[in-house]
Structure 1
Amino acid sequence: MMPVQQPTPSASWSRPAERIMAAINRDPLTAPHAVRNDALLAVLTAGLSVALGLFVDDGRRPDALGWALLLVSHVPLVWRRRSPVLVLLAVVACVVPYHFLEYTHTAATQAAYVALYTVAVTGRPLRTVLVGIGVITLSVSVMLTISAHEALGLLKASGWVVAVLFLGVDVRFYRQYVASIVERAERAERTREEEARRRVAEERLRIARDLHDLLAHSITLIGVQTSVAAHVLSADPERLDRETVAKALDDIAETCRGARGELRTTLEVLREHDSPDARGPLPGLDGLPDLAEAARLAGARVEQTVRIRQAPPAVGAAAYRIVQEALTNAVRHAGPEPAVRVDLVEREGALHLSVSDDGTGPAPGGTPGFGLVGMRERARTVGGTLDAGPRADGGFEVTAVLPLTKTGTGTTGTGTTGTGTTGTGTVGEGTG
């Protein structure tokens, strides 16, 4: 049988302290069991007043009328939270004749103090000040009808009235302060939840864009390379160029391996439960030569020029994806053996990107895809702009301006020119 753990002394002391602090912090107008608690308070206060009436000698001992006035003055305290001012007036209505008949004065102060505290803790400071002035004035006026000496003594004792009122005002301000802290904490929690939802939505959009760019690029290249192999097999079966077929199949296998690697990197983000901000390695400007080489293998003649220092990771990733999408659409839509030019230049604190081709233009009535939308979203994510459309001398051009944060220096490089065999479509105009 397991021994029962006894509560430690500190824990047993902390529980009543927590209850007391909870009662102090709680709004008296919304506290549960208000009438029951106030009825209990009225009984306890009445018991204290009776004890003072019996054992304190600062007036004559109450008779039947005095006890009636003393006990009745505590009855309104049961409803002190609902109507604090009316309760105070009812208490005063019983206490004034009690003092006028010179019964034990100390015994009648308990109910008045509770009523004054309630008025101060539930109302505005201005009302508290006016009520305090009124109570002191009325009390002194009543005592003046008895004797000037008693009135002077009451005026000296009015500091207790002021102290009770200040206590009520102080507790009221403290409760307002605690309520404001709780409200700020709840608002901060709501803000964190909204921020978490926004981050999830942005991450989903980022993954969708990455998957779109990756699959569109890879599937397009695989389709073109497969067409090359099929063309070689069917063009002249008697003089089969096995070397060309083998090269086309190797290119397909290499494209599949690269796509599989990128797809694995992207999907790893979805499996990260412990690190919601994990985004995996971002592609950058150093991957542009691979994009150009893949487009050449698919039949495009690509000329690439890169004159830019090191770019921030987010800008480099956006530029990489924009170039990838533009090259994919050039291979797909720009016609046979399209000539594509890729330029990336740093100018006036921004990366100026341009991808143009000499293709035949988009097919009339074609259904637009998500290519241009995705590229514009990528440019906006880094504070840039993107334009795309037909060129005046034929073909299609995508231009983007991406702001740069100057962090370090890099190298300047120039790409090479390559040629291929086949391709179709216009850059940026719809991808599958």
Structure 2
Amino acid sequence: MTTTTGDQWRRPGPTPEQRRLDLYGGLAVTVLALFSLTLTRSTGAFLLGPPPSGPEQVFWTVAGTLPLIWRRRWPAVTALVVSAVFIAAQARSAPETQLSSWALFAALYTLGAWGPNRRLARRLRVGIIVTMFAWLGVYYAVTVGSIPPDAFARAVGPVPPVLAAIVSGVLINGLYFGVAYFFGETAWLAARRQHELVERAEELRRSQAEARGRAVIGERVRIARELHDVVAHHVSVMGVQASAARRVFDKDATKARAALTAIEETARTAVDELRRMLGVLRAGEGTPEPVAPPAGVDQVAAVVERARDAGLRATLGVYGDPVPLPESVSQAVHRVVQEAVTNVIKHASGATVLDVRLRYLAKEVEVDVTDDGRPTRPPNPDGLGLVGMRERVATHGGTLEAGPRTGGGWRVRARFPLAVAVAEAA
């Protein structure tokens, strides 16, 4: 995400609703200014001197307030027009000053809050403020000579009356323009921060959506891997046992019954594992059903036993001092052995010997599965079985080797870092 900051950010223009509000507000201010002009003329309080004609007074009043209807649409033009009319109206001694002063304040504030070009907005505001103070100096220079001698007859302070009046005017105008400038900058900064919050919220929403998509894909891959491991292994064993039962059915009833018993047990095991997987998937729906623990290292012997039932001379060797493994690593070891044995049963032609070794080494746990068969087809490195084993091993920071042996047969060797496994178990 690229977020513009500082002077690079451009505030979006006003919405149609904001434009309508500016229209109504500008018209309301103009009407109030005309009403203020009527009151001023009625009281005769012409503080700036003899006023111009009535139509000219109305013109200056309308010209100084009506441009506010475009204040957020064209803030720079509005500020320039209102400030220029303000100075010209005072030069002509237009009597209405109250609403005109507020119109100038609103124009300066809007230029600071809505100016699309920050550098231009700052320069224009500083230029207008400097011009206003220059006009104030000119006004004082022109009018100070025409002050009546008795204008300060009741002055009792230590500061000379004229100097006091000038300093008071400068301070009031400084506060007036300073507040307009400050609140304009504050409004613009608030809008920019709001824009950044919206951008970050949108980026967060997109990131969450992508994370949810990745989680769904990962869950689908995990389910596919589990189904492949469970179904492929048990169905392969059942197929071998069924073939054996068919061959000896009429010759040796005892062997046929043993093969059928093995098929029955394998089917039950497959159903139990499938039920466990479905229980995990349904755990988030209402009250979870009791789920049996997943197969682990302790059930590797059962896998080897099923290989014996399939007709292989299968052996299991455990070397080193066994250490407690976390459930995920233990399950990964079991699945690697199960998939390797399944591949021997399904794809190894003429295989008679299966050797499974589990080694607890100093820094890793090693699983080594070898056979003496010949592949019935070229190995597929992108097959679900090999891909699933690689993913399982890589998840725990391990390595996997799968390929033909020099003396014939096939070998699958997986290594899991023991330090990480023990830390996870702890």
TM category (shorter chain) comes to 0.7 to 0.9
Q: CA deviation at 1:59?
A: 3.6
Is 1:46 aligned to residue 30 of structure 2? yes
TM-score normalised by the chain length of structure 2: 0.80
Is 1:122 aligned to residue 114 of structure 2? yes
2:260 to 219, 242, 249: 249
Q: CA deviation at 1:131?
A: 2.9
Where does residue 392 of structure 2 map in the other structure?
378
Is 1:285 aligned to residue 297 of structure 2? yes
297-306 or 365-374: bigger deviation: 365-374
140-149 or 398-407: bigger deviation: 140-149
Where does residue 131 of structure 1 map in the other structure?
124
2:206 to 185, 190, 193: 190
1:31/1:243 CA distance change after superposition, 3 Å: same
Look up the equivalent residue of 1:328 and give its one-letter code.
T
Aligned residues of 2:82 and 2:107 also touching (Cα < 8 A)? yes
Give the distance between the partners of 1:54 and 1:351, measured in 2 at CA: 97
Where does residue 407 of structure 1 map in the other structure?
422
Where does residue 103 of structure 2 map in the other structure?
111
Q: CA deviation at 1:93?
A: 2.2
Q: CA deviation at 1:406?
A: 4.3
Question: What SS does the corresponding residue of 1:343 show, helix, strand or coil?
Answer: strand
* RMSD of aligned residue pairs (Cα, Å): 2.8
Where does residue 407 of structure 2 map in the other structure?
393
Look up the equivalent residue of 2:90 and give its one-letter code.
H
Where does residue 317 of structure 2 map in the other structure?
305
Question: What SS does the corresponding residue of 1:407 show, helix, strand or coil?
Answer: helix
Give the distance between the partners of 1:370 and 1:332, measured in 2 at CA: 14
372-381 or 145-154: bigger deviation: 145-154
2:193 to 177, 180, 194: 177
Matches within 5 A, 1:331-342: 331-336=345-350, 338-342=352-356
Aligned residues of 1:120 and 1:168 also touching (Cα < 8 A)? yes
Give the distance between the partners of 2:245 and 2:360, measured in 1 at CA: 40
Q: CA deviation at 1:268?
A: 3.1
Question: What SS does the corresponding residue of 1:192 show, helix, strand or coil?
Answer: helix
Where does residue 233 of structure 1 map in the other structure?
249
Structure 2: stretches of 5+ with no match in the other structure: 1-10, 145-164
Look up the equivalent residue of 1:163 and give its one-letter code.
V
Look up the equivalent residue of 1:215 and give its one-letter code.
V
TM-score normalised by the chain length of structure 1: 0.79
Structure 1: stretches of 5+ with no match in the other structure: 1-26, 411-432
Structure with higher RCO (Cα < 8 A, 6+ apart): 1
Where does residue 344 of structure 1 map in the other structure?
358
Percent sequence identity over matched residues?
A: 32
Where does residue 7 of structure 2 map in the other structure?
none
250-259 or 369-378: bigger deviation: 369-378
30-39 or 393-402: bigger deviation: 30-39
1:133/1:336 CA distance change after superposition, 3 Å: closer
295-304 or 254-263: bigger deviation: 295-304
Matches within 5 A, 1:13-24: none
> For this pair of structures, how many residues does the alignment match?
377
Give the distance between the partners of 1:379 and 1:302, measured in 2 at CA: 24
Where does residue 199 of structure 1 map in the other structure?
215
1:322/1:354 CA distance change after superposition, 3 Å: same
Aligned residues of 2:60 and 2:94 also touching (Cα < 8 A)? no
Question: What SS does the corresponding residue of 2:249 show, helix, strand or coil?
Answer: helix
Aligned residues of 2:349 and 2:376 also touching (Cα < 8 A)? no
1:268 to 279, 290, 294: 279
119-128 or 186-195: bigger deviation: 119-128
1:230-263 CA-to-partner distances (Å, cap 9, x unmatched) read: 12124x3xxxx32222211111111111111111
Look up the equivalent residue of 1:195 and give its one-letter code.
A
